[in-house]
Structure 1
Amino acid sequence: MRWVVIDSPIGELSVGADGPGVAGPAAVGGVHFGRHPAAAPPVAGEHALLDSAVAELRAYFEGTLTDFTVPLAVPGGSDFERAVWERIARVPYGEMITYGEIATGLGDAGAARAVGTACNRNPVPVIVPCHRVVGAGGKMVGFGGGLPRKRVLLEIEARVKLERDWLSFG
């Protein structure tokens, strides 16, 4: 996997992707908070998919992109974790869902902690938006990147959503 590191409002962010090959087409397979040990600064044109992923992440942080389109190849995970990640990927931009709501939707209302563990193991945070998952009553709890990063991500989305909703009234 080739990794690049970019600056963002939540600090350095590393993005990893594989090129086309035996495992299939090129796909993003990892997002890492901070500098991944194998990451380098992006070099335009060196890896087309990473160029696209970096451009999409920058647009997301600028508030001009609300839905990622880069192909993903999410490695690993149990069947339960993959089900949680698939559910998280469907949470609309600027909205939140609780760990308990995901657990209930997956058929086990008592599995909220297991949902939290699955969120923490999400290999592509931000793109698969585990920051949109909150505790009961909207409480800000748990995030692999730390609560300050979670807060910034939610604030970006809330601001952009409010601006877009406001403009739609005009």
Structure 2
Amino acid sequence: MDFTQLISRRQSVRRYSDRPVESEKQDRLIEAVRLAPSACNAQPWSLLLVDEPTLRTEVAKASFGKVLSFNQFAVQAPLIAVLVIEPPPMTVRLGTLIKRRQLPLIDIGIAAAQLCLQAAELGLGSCMLGWFDEGKIKRLLNIPLRRRIGLLVTIGYAAPNYPLRNKQRKPATAMSSRNGYCIKA
């Protein structure tokens, strides 16, 4: 499939089958993150793939609570990727301070996008989660206290008959312009 087809096909999946993600496909997901570009080639991330059923369920449960239950679907995902932000080298830290840009967060976003696109190319669904109990997940996965978790990504085969949605996006004229800012609200 060409790139336009791939990005059109990729969508957030919130209902998974119980079919496990094969280790060969997990290896391809790892490679997609490994090859992601980053500021100064810092690669300020660690990728943890969680597929052991009991541990995966506990990590999934840390993404929702009794009051805010919008991520409950995470317990269905046969694989959860955890992107941990690692300390970048001094050049990136200086660039972050001087330019007031959170370069490692941008880099994590790029890595996560590549992970999700690779998943789509492999016939897998994914959904990025930014809402989770970071402390609980750190304890579950033995992540050092001084590290931050950037994102969780649920990954797996979409449930049978999961609808391919017609993505609602702004028209190009509402989000882009050429040679100067003139976006119409």
TM above 0.5, yes or no, is no
Q: Which has the higher contact order (CA 8 A, sep 6+)?
A: 2
- Structure with greater Cα Rg: 2
